[in-house]
A and B are shown apart, each in its own frame.
Chain A
Amino acid sequence: MDKTTVRMQQIALQTLANGEVDVILGWKKGDEWYDSYPVVINDINETAELIWDAFCVNNLSKYLITELKKNLRIGVFLKGCDSLAFNQLVIDNRIDSERVVIFGLPCPGMIDPQKVKHAGLNKGLLKVERTGDKIVFITKEGVKEYIGRSFDYDKCLNCRCPNPVVSKYMLSDAVTRTDEEQYFPDVTEIEKMPLEARYDYWTKQFSKCIKCYACRNICPLCSCETCVFDNIAAGVSSKADADCEQQFFHIIRAYHVAGRCVDCGECSRVCPVGIPLEKLNRKIIKDINQLYGDYTADTDIAKSPPLGTYKVDDFDPFDGSKQGGKK
């Protein structure tokens, strides 16, 4: 068994047994090779079923919001990007970090089952194992080995934070990524397009949306108790497929997490129709970084969120005569 999985099961058993935590949030393996699903366990006998593999892509930090209402202390496994979301939830005052024990999982990248399927490797596939950049496909016929990141989710290829920024127990050695990441090329590309082309591009993208709200539901930070898009009376989300409502939804969804989005890429990952939602989020992140200092909702929970604060001399695009502040 994978070293980290062994460690994972040990630590879960240990902390449950000694009462450090009441429940554990982790993943179990489903029937399929690509199926690692989130679980909440409180039974020490179940700890042996916990798993860490290249498909533990689900971010467990969002579950803390509801689970902390039912349980006193929770142990949770967090990858790098998950830990950013955890921090942001603490900043947003959605969870009490004192009651959470974090087991950190440095993450080499998660595998996109679609890419495996497209490469035709899914036939008879039983299991996929990953150590660093070495990926082993175990099939009925035999074993195939690959080196590299060609099966990683797109979002993982752009990962800026593979190692957890906060944790009590780290379960493996830190991952080092040397590849120079290009953070905002996609945004700059769209910014350079002429206005009408931009409008057409986005209207076309938005029109694909089937309003399943998976992007909203998966987002660790889209966590309002009631959402305007569930409120029929608000009149902003009917069943009809109208451009204006799609635009409304997408602009508000992106804007609503402005300053809080940790760019974990979950929204675009789960979108069944492949709308590049990260290009909206990243536009906002890029602007915030440029205008209000380097804030990529973040590693430092002492920092105040960029839209929850202000500076008297902030850039003022609405006043040509003076750049903000009192004269």
Chain B
Amino acid sequence: MSLKLEEKAISSKQQFEPLIVAFCCNWCSYAGADLAGTSRLNYPANIKIIKVPCSCRVSPNFVLRAFQRGADGVIIAGCHPGDCHYSTGNYFTRRRFTLFANLLEYVGIEREKFKIEWISAAEGNKFATVMNEMLDSINKLGPSRKLRDGRWIRQQ
């Protein structure tokens, strides 16, 4: 490796800027993110929010796809069980992703990289805390190529 490349590698290691994809349900968590914003709470710019109608709309394919295309962490945020806008959606989310999270861990993916959180529209605070914590734990893990498409290059 040439000196220049090495320098670049070191500096890019120092500036590891994780990308976190947050699937937020339209009714609770997205509104929670809104509230965090309007309350001027800080949450990191590394979080990219994708709005979904309900947390149970998220298929495991989406999660793996996000990891393939550059996410360092994926989080699904939905209403608290019992408060789903569609009554029961997040009960299904809970079962499906309990199994899915276990399966990911089973094939060797760190728990920290994939999370589910229940965040209501009134919990702007919780939204900010959860996202900050997530960023923290991903930072601690450091850069990793697990599940990443090796041919993928992040657009700056």
- Interface, chain A (partner B; CB < 8 A): 190-191, 195-203, 228, 236, 240, 242-245, 247-248, 250-252, 254-255, 258, 280, 283-284, 287-288, 291-292, 306-307, 310-312, 314-319, 324-326
8 Å CB contacts to A: which residues of B12-49? none
Q: Offer 18 A-B interface pairs, CB within 8 angstroms, sorted by A.
A: A247-B147, A252-B64, A283-B106, A287-B98, A287-B99, A307-B92, A312-B81, A314-B95, A316-B94, A316-B98, A318-B94, A319-B80, A319-B118, A325-B82, A326-B80, A326-B81, A326-B82, A326-B83
Q: What is the size category of the interface that chain B forms with chain A?
A: 35 or more
Interface bits B36-77 vs A (CB < 8 Å: 1, else 0): 000000000000000000000000110011011000000000
Q: Chain A contacts of B115 at CB under 8 A?
A: 318
Please name the 5 residue pairs, one residue from A and one from B, whose CB atoms are nearest each other, closest first: A199-B108, A326-B82, A310-B91, A198-B108, A318-B116
Interface: B109 (CB within 8 A): yes
A-B contacts besides A236-B61, A316-B98, 7 pairs, CB < 8 Å: A199-B108, A199-B146, A244-B148, A255-B100, A314-B94, A318-B118, A326-B80
Please tell me if the beta carbons of B116 and A251 are within 8 angstroms of each other in the complex.
no
With A199-B109, A316-B81 already in contact, the answer to whether A283 and B103 are too (CB < 8 A) is: yes
Q: Chain A contacts of B94 at CB under 8 A?
A: 310, 314, 316, 318, 324
Chain B minimum-CB-distance residue to A203: B108
A-B contact count (CB 8 A): 118
Please tell me if the beta carbons of B118 and A287 are within 8 angstroms of each other in the complex.
no
With A190-B106, A236-B61 already in contact, the answer to whether A292 and B95 are too (CB < 8 A) is: yes
8 Å CB contacts to A: which residues of B105-121? 105-110, 115-118
With A196-B108, A199-B107 already in contact, the answer to whether A255 and B60 are too (CB < 8 A) is: yes
Please tell me if the beta carbons of A252 and B108 are within 8 angstroms of each other in the complex.
no
Q: Chain B contacts of A251 at CB under 8 A?
A: 60, 64, 103-104, 107
Please tell me if the beta carbons of A198 and B81 are within 8 angstroms of each other in the complex.
no
Q: Chain A contacts of B116 at CB under 8 A?
A: 318
Contact of A228 among B61, B68, B100, B109 (CB under 8 A): B61
Decide if the interface of chain A is mainly helix, strand, loop or mixed.
Answer: helix
Interface: B139 (CB within 8 A): no
Contact of A248 among B68, B95, B99, B101 (CB under 8 A): B68
Interface: B137 (CB within 8 A): no
Interface: B154 (CB within 8 A): no
- Tell me the smallest distance from the CB of A239 to a CB of chain B, in Å: 13
In the bound assembly, the distance between CA atoms of A258 and B118 in angstroms comes to: 24
In the bound assembly, the distance between CA atoms of A113 and B148 in angstroms comes to: 39
In the bound assembly, the distance between CA atoms of A196 and B91 in angstroms comes to: 31
Contact of A247 among B96, B98, B107 (CB under 8 A): B107
Q: Chain B contacts of A283 at CB under 8 A?
A: 102-103, 106
- Tell me the smallest distance from the CB of B129 to a CB of chain A, in Å: 13
- Tell me the smallest distance from the CB of A35 to a CB of chain B, in Å: 36
- Tell me the smallest distance from the CB of B150 to a CB of chain A, in Å: 6
Interface: B149 (CB within 8 A): yes
In the bound assembly, the distance between CA atoms of A284 and B30 in angstroms comes to: 31
Interface: B4 (CB within 8 A): no
Please tell me if the beta carbons of B103 and A255 are within 8 angstroms of each other in the complex.
yes
Interface: B140 (CB within 8 A): no
In the bound assembly, the distance between CA atoms of A195 and B104 in angstroms comes to: 11
Contact of A195 among B110, B117, B151 (CB under 8 A): B110
Chain A minimum-CB-distance residue to B88: A310
Chain B minimum-CB-distance residue to A311: B91
